[in-house]
Structure 1
Amino acid sequence: MDWALQDLIDKQAIREVVLTYCRGIDRLDFDLVRSAYHPDAIDHHTGFDGNIDEYIAWVTPKLSAIGGTMHHIGNHLVELHGDHAISEAYSMSTHWGGPEGIGMINFTSGARFIDHMERRNGRWAIKERWAVREWTRSDEGRFVNPEGPGPRGRRDASDPLSALRSSLE
């Protein structure tokens, strides 16, 4: 296969790892989150440093206590180095809802996911991640209820994505 085509295939696979992580976090699908990492991966988030199992144990109660999150990936640059790669993806994520007293809720933050990706047995995944928080702003008092009935995101099997997937299986 032509090397330029293989580079494109590898870069796309790496981008899908980052997007898989975002979908998993936003849908509270921690098996999906885990699939974005190698089993011995390390994660560094604001307030956390540890392995993937520790990260999931740390983040699950935080995300389960709030109404939802939505991660958007913007600029994404991938540098290939054989079976290793550097992935830098800009992210803006919004967190909303939840009870008082659980810490910061209703906020948006800008961050960069700086990932050491590694290809093992033909599969790209995160070997080490630095979630570099660049800024955070409070959105308290800015959220409003939807203007009318319609589809709503859910963090379980009743989400429209899950329903569509089930209909096609």
Structure 2
Amino acid sequence: MQYRESPAPPASDPEGTLRWLRDRELIKNLYRRYAFGVDSIDFEIVRSVFHPDCRVIGTAEEGDLNGYLTGIEEALHQWDATMHFVGNQYIEIDGDRGHVESWVVGYHMEAEDSPLEHLVLGLRYQDDLVRDGEDWKIIRRETAKQWHTGTFPRPFVGPPQYPRRGRESHS
């Protein structure tokens, strides 16, 4: 673990400062979209934050993007609800490439009739990004579990007996 973050341009460079602020906001928005997409099980949104050639390291779904997303989507149907919170982020930008370290807490709620405890995960995402037109995309993700409470890994006991909350239309 190493602290990496790009300093702001000098105040005497308003164009550079505006570009720096815009890039940081676009990058932070990737993580808001990711959390929203995961928690609403909208994998069109989730896929939109990743470059098609993305590689994933440190998860059960390690490998290419399709395997990673398929594994996450299958797992999400086991819980009654989830909520992913993106906390501290350290953003380093170098031209059209970037690196982001994000600290995330994922809440995974079991159905009331489940024999399992709720699962709360503390994760650290270390992502390499590339500029993609006017946006940014994650091209490499390394995930590290920092801690957890509850049953992990979750044994399969089946999905909740009723439709999962959060699947309502958000359009």
The TM-score range, normalised by the shorter chain, is: 0.7 to 0.9
SS across alignment from 2:166: coil
Corresponding residue of 2:134? 122
SS across alignment from 1:156: coil
Residue pair 1:117, 1:127 contacting (<8 A) in 2 also: yes
Alpha-carbon distance between aligned partners in 1 of 2:80 and 2:98, rounded to the nearest angstrom: 34
Tell me whether 1:10 sits opposite 2:10 in the alignment. Answer: no
Residue pair 2:51, 2:138 contacting (<8 A) in 1 also: yes
Question: 4+ residue stretches of structure 1 with deviation over 3 A?
Answer: 98-101
Please, what TM-score do these two structures have when normalized by structure 1?
0.78
**What CA RMSD, in Å, does the superposition of the two structures yield over aligned residues?**
2.3
Alpha-carbon distance between aligned partners in 2 of 1:105 and 1:87, rounded to the nearest angstrom: 31
User: Gapped runs of 5+ residues in structure 1?
Assistant: 140-152
1:61 to partner: Cα distance: 1.4
Tell me whether 1:58 sits opposite 2:66 in the alignment. Answer: no
Please, what TM-score do these two structures have when normalized by structure 2?
0.77
1:59/1:78 Cα in 2 relative to 1: closer, same or farther (>3 Å)? Answer: same
Tell me whether 1:74 sits opposite 2:87 in the alignment. Answer: yes
Letter of the structure 2 residue corresponding to residue 81 of structure 1: D
Letter of the structure 1 residue corresponding to residue 65 of structure 2: I
The percent of aligned pairs where both chains have the same amino acid is 27
Residue pair 2:56, 2:62 contacting (<8 A) in 1 also: yes
Corresponding residue of 2:99? 86
Aligned residues: 146
Tell me whether 1:112 sits opposite 2:121 in the alignment. Answer: no
Where is the helix percentage greater, Structure 1 or Structure 2?
A: 1
Tell me whether 1:154 sits opposite 2:144 in the alignment. Answer: no
